[in-house]
């Protein structure tokens, strides 16, 4: 019987081999199409097609349009509106695109045989760094050097600032790390557990075929199958929640710098 290898599902594999491109100062860069890249291209295409089809603007929306409007309202009235306020309107496209992409990639990865892009730390770190860079750029554009007021808690005795300012600064720098690790950890952890229970379904069923007391293996196989079904339902909820949490934290970080003059 083949060894159980739960981490094999996260391996990056080349689909289309492209010769590396030499970039001055960076060296050769591999532009080959991998299963990760192909999945992200597919996700972008499917999301675009879905919202183009949903954006019909009918007075009485059909199911597709209604579902698209629910997702849009979730990003508008559930995230940017209440969390950033009126100033959050310009950031709605980014938050909406971020939420849609992560949710699609998370849910797509639950389909057997499909690659889970959000289980790749490089992907989650990239999304987190882009978000962090946007927060910093928006912070300086809107507040100038007043951006540094973000690290100065209001209503605190000046003597405490020597302790609190470094803590606030380090906490700010750690944001992209926690943002990326949260999504990465939840995706890879859930898929490993599902893989292990899925392996038990097959392994125990094969063992039970030996006869005798081994028939009890069918009971274990059935229980493992039930766990796989339950975990799949749970992972479906987690996939959606992780996309929502990532977008919500993005809104929180943007709110800190967009409304800096109100909060400090």
In a domain, 152, yes or no: yes
pLDDT higher than threshold 60 for residue 150: yes
This prediction's pTM = 0.88
Residue 63 confidence class, pLDDT cut points 50, 70, 90: confident
> Is position 116 within any domain?
yes
Greater confidence (69 vs 6) lies with 69
Tens of pLDDT, residue by residue over 51-60, are 888 887 676 7
pLDDT, tens only, 152-202 = 877 777 777 788 888 989 999 999 999 999 999 989 988 888 888 888 888
d(CA 254, CA 88): 8
* 91 falls within a domain: yes
In a domain, 252, yes or no: yes
Section 201-214 average pLDDT: 78
Q: Look at 71-80, 125-134, 159-168 and tell me which has the smallest mean pLDDT.
A: 159-168
Q: Which of 75-84, 107-116, 151-160 has the lowest mean pLDDT?
A: 151-160
pLDDT computed for residue 3 by the predictor:
58
Residue 43 covered by a domain = yes
> Quick check: is 173 in a domain?
yes
- 103-134 burial by CB neighbour count: b if 16+ within 10 A, else e? bbbbbbbbeeeebbbbbbeebbbebbeebbeb
Q: What is the mean pLDDT of residues 216-241?
A: 88
Mean pLDDT for the stretch of residues 223-252: 92
**Which residue did the predictor score with more confidence, 11 or 98?**
98
| Percentage of residues of the chain with pLDDT beyond 90 | 38
Cα dihedral 32/36/41/47 (nearest 10): 180
pLDDT of residue 4: 64
Query: Which of 251, 30, 257, 42 lies closest to 142, judged by CA?
Result: 257
Identify whether 1 is part of a domain: no
With helix as H, strand as E and coil as C, how does the chain read? CCCCCHHHHHCCCEEECCCCEEECCCEEECCCEEHHHHHHHHHHHHHHHHHHHHCCCCCCCCHHHHHHHHHHHHHHHHHHHHHHCHHHHHHHHHHHHHHHHHHHHHHHCCCCCCCCHHHCHHHHHHHHHHHHHHHHHHHHHHHHHHHHHHHCCCCCCHHHHHHHHHHHHHHHHHHHHHHHHHHHHHHHHHHHHHHHHHHHHHHHHHHHCCCHHHHHHHHHHHHHHHHHHHHHHHHHHHHHHHHHHHHHHHHHHHHHHHCHHHHC
236 pLDDT band, cuts 50/70/90, is very high
- Tally of structural domains, the chain: 1
| Residue numbers of the domain that contains 118 | 6-263
For residue range 10-45, list pLDDT tens digits in order. 888 888 888 888 888 777 888 888 999 999 999 999
pLDDT of residue 108: 92
Q: What is the mean pLDDT of the chain?
A: 86
pLDDT at 259: 85
């Amino acid at each position: 019987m083949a060894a159980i290898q739960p981490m094999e599902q996260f391996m990056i594999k080349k689909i289309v081999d492209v010769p590396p491109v030499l970039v001055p100062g960076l060296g050769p860069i591999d532009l080959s199409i991998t299963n990760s890249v192909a999945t992200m291209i597919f996700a972008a295409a499917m999301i675009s097609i879905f919202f183009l089809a949903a954006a019909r603007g009918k007075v009485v929306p059909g199911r597709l349009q209604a579902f698209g409007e629910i997702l849009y309202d979730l990003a508008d009235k559930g995230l940017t509106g209440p969390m950033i306020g009126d100033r959050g309107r310009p950031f709605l496209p980014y938050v909406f695109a971020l939420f849609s992409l992560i949710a699609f990639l998370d849910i797509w990865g639950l389909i057997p045989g499909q690659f889970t892009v959000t289980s790749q730390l490089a992907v989650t770190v990239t999304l987190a760094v882009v978000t962090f860079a946007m927060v910093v750029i928006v912070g300086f554009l809107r507040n100038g050097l007043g951006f540094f007021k973000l690290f100065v808690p209001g209503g605190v005795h000046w003597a405490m600032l020597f302790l609190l300012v470094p803590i606030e600064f380090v906490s700010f720098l750690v944001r992209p790390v926690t943002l990326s690790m949260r999504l990465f950890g939840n995706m890879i952890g859930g898929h490993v557990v599902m893989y292990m229970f899925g392996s038990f379904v097959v392994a125990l069923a094969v063992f039970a075929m030996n006869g005798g007391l081994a028939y009890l293996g069918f009971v274990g196989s059935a229980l493992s199958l039930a766990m796989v079904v339950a975990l799949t339902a749970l992972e479906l909820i987690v996939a959606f929640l992780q996309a929502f949490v990532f977008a919500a934290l993005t809104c929180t970080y943007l709110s800190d710098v967009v409304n800096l003059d109100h909060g400090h």
